[in-house]
């Protein structure tokens, strides 16, 4: 046992100097027994991207503040045509719905072949009665005989005139210059009764538009307006408002023999507008805008209202200056529901930031 310990001590004494020298060499050469630490990764450089804006250029134009109401173009007067004193079979239609007619133009005609025979027969009787008067006078008849024979002539003439009136009445004619708005559901060969409406003719020289604007107080009688039909503009004027209608109705009520011949079924909460000057030929029945201009400004900077923001109670518009979005205080003038006049703060050509 003792011998073993002695051997171990001798081994340590022989190897320890060698181990110490090896360690010293490793330390001086930069070599370590422990693993090397990894170097910290350097993050790559990131370049900030430039912010892009959608802009619109400030421009000059006209701006109007207006009231717009919509109605249908209607005729003030229309005439329902019928045979008042006779009935019969339709012989011929001379027009179609939509045709323009002049006063006196034939609309349709009923068959008068039987009436023509009666007229021809009466004309012969009249000729005979006149010959009888001549014969009595030439034969020296008394004045009483001559007068009696002449009465026969007058009676036949009266009957003949009635037949001729019926003949003339067989042709239904337009009472005005206008347009045939509709025809009854009858055709050639169909029977029509006395009083039955065969056609309707409207007076296209007197057209109006009834509207109900949000603010009726702006539309007094004689107020000038614009009428817009399919992007075309026409002059118009207010001819009836609620105040004027009340006065008119009192006048009609006070005068029992006065009839309302305007052909318009007036309503108390409605404004009525007529065309002034030219009336478009195809206006009847179309939708039309009645436009009242309340105020206008010409050749001014106008921008959309959605560009105007409120910052600390102040109106501002964001303008692109040197690539930067900058809030610019503004002062507005005339304002509509969608646009505003810019009095100060914005110049023509400025780039306004939408988003």
Closest CA to 341 of 307, 318, 310: 307
Closest CA to 119 of 156, 155, 154, 84: 156
340: CATH: 2.40.420.20
In a domain, 241, yes or no: yes
What is the rounded distance in angstroms from the CA atom of residue 148 to the CA atom of residue 154? 10
The whole-number pLDDT of residue 26 equals 46
Closest CA to 193 of 108, 89, 106, 107: 89
- Token readout for 294 is 């309340």
Query: Given 248, 272, 293, which residue is the final one in a domain?
Result: 293
| 178 and 88 together in one domain | yes
In a domain, 22, yes or no: no
User: Domain limits at 274?
Assistant: 68-76+204-293
What is the rounded distance in angstroms from the CA atom of residue 351 to the CA atom of residue 321? 8
Cβ atoms of 262 and 204 within 8 Å: the answer is no
Closest CA to 95 of 14, 11, 171: 171
* pTM for the structure as a whole: 0.59
The whole-number pLDDT of residue 161 equals 92
- Token readout for 214 is 């949000």
220: CATH: 2.40.30
Cβ atoms of 293 and 266 within 8 Å: the answer is no
| Consecutive H or E run containing 123 | helix 113-138
169: CATH: 2.40.50.100
Cβ atoms of 66 and 294 within 8 Å: the answer is yes
Strand, helix or coil at 322? coil
| 225 and 260 together in one domain | yes
Task: Indicate the angle between helix axes 143-169 and 113-138, nearest 10 degrees.
Answer: 160
The whole-number pLDDT of residue 206 equals 85
- Counting Cα atoms < 13 Å in the Cβ hemisphere of 48 gives 3
| 330 and 258 together in one domain | no
Distance between alpha carbon 348 and the CA centroid of its chain, in Å? 34
- Token readout for 13 is 């004494």
The whole-number pLDDT of residue 178 equals 87
Residues contacting 222, CB < 8 A, separation 6+: 237, 238, 239
| Residue tagged 């023999």 (tokens) | 257
Cβ atoms of 126 and 153 within 8 Å: the answer is yes
Q: What angle do CA 169, 173, 177 make, to 5 degrees?
A: 155
| 215 and 325 together in one domain | no
| 210 and 176 together in one domain | no
Number of domains within the chain: 3
> Cβ of 49: how many Cβ atoms within 10 Å?
6
Instruction: Give me Rg for the CA atoms of the chain.
Output: 51
Q: What is the largest CA-CA distance in the chain?
A: 208
What is the rounded distance in angstroms from the CA atom of residue 65 to the CA atom of residue 63? 7
The whole-number pLDDT of residue 255 equals 76
In a domain, 154, yes or no: yes
In a domain, 40, yes or no: no
Query: Given 182, 202, 222, which residue is the final one in a domain?
Result: 202
Distance between alpha carbon 267 and the CA centroid of its chain, in Å? 21
| 221 and 276 together in one domain | yes
Q: Which of the residues in the chain have pLDDT under 70?
A: 1-50, 256-262
| 197 and 209 together in one domain | no
The whole-number pLDDT of residue 265 equals 87
In a domain, 42, yes or no: no
The whole-number pLDDT of residue 18 equals 55
| 102 and 85 together in one domain | yes
Cβ atoms of 178 and 100 within 8 Å: the answer is yes
């Amino acid at each position: 046992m003792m011998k073993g310990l002695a051997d171990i001590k001798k081994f340590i004494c022989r190897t320890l100097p060698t181990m110490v020298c090896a360690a010293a060499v490793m330390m001086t050469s930069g070599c370590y027994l422990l693993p090397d630490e990894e170097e910290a990764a350097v993050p790559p450089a990131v370049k900030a991207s430039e912010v892009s804006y959608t802009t619109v250029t400030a421009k000059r134009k006209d701006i109007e503040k207006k009231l717009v109401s919509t109605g249908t173009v209607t005729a003030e007067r229309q005439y329902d045509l019928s045979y008042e004193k006779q009935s019969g079979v339709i012989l011929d239609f001379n027009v179609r719905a939509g045709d323009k007619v002049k006063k006196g133009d034939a609309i349709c005609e009923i068959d008068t072949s039987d009436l023509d025979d009666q007229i021809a027969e009466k004309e012969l009787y009249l000729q005979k009665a006149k010959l009888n008067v001549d014969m009595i006078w030439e034969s020296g008849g008394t004045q009483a005989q001559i007068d009696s024979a002449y009465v026969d002539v007058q009676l036949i003439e009266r009957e003949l005139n009635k037949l001729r009136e019926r003949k003339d009445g067989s042709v239904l004619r337009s009472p005005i210059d206008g347009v045939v708005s509709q025809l009854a559901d009858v055709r050639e060969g169909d029977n029509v009764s006395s009083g039955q409406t065969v056609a309707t003719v409207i007076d296209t020289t007197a057209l109006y538009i009834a509207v109900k604007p949000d603010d009726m107080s702006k539309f007094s009688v004689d107020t000038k307006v614009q009428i817009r039909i399919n992007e075309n503009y026409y002059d118009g004027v207010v001819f009836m408002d609620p105040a004027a209608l009340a006065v008119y109705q009192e006048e009609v009520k006070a005068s029992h023999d006065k009839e309302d011949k305007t052909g318009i079924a007036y309503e108390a909460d409605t404004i009525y507008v007529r065309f002034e000057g030219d009336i478009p030929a195809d206006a009847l029945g179309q939708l039309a805008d009645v436009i009242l201009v309340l105020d206008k400004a010409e050749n001014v900077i106008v921008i959309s209202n959605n560009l105007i923001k409120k910052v600390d109670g102040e109106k501002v518009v964001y303008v692109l200056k040197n690539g930067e979005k900058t809030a610019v205080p503004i002062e507005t003038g005339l304002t509509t529901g969608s646009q505003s006049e810019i009095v100060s703060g914005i110049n023509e050509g400025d780039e306004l930031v939408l988003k």
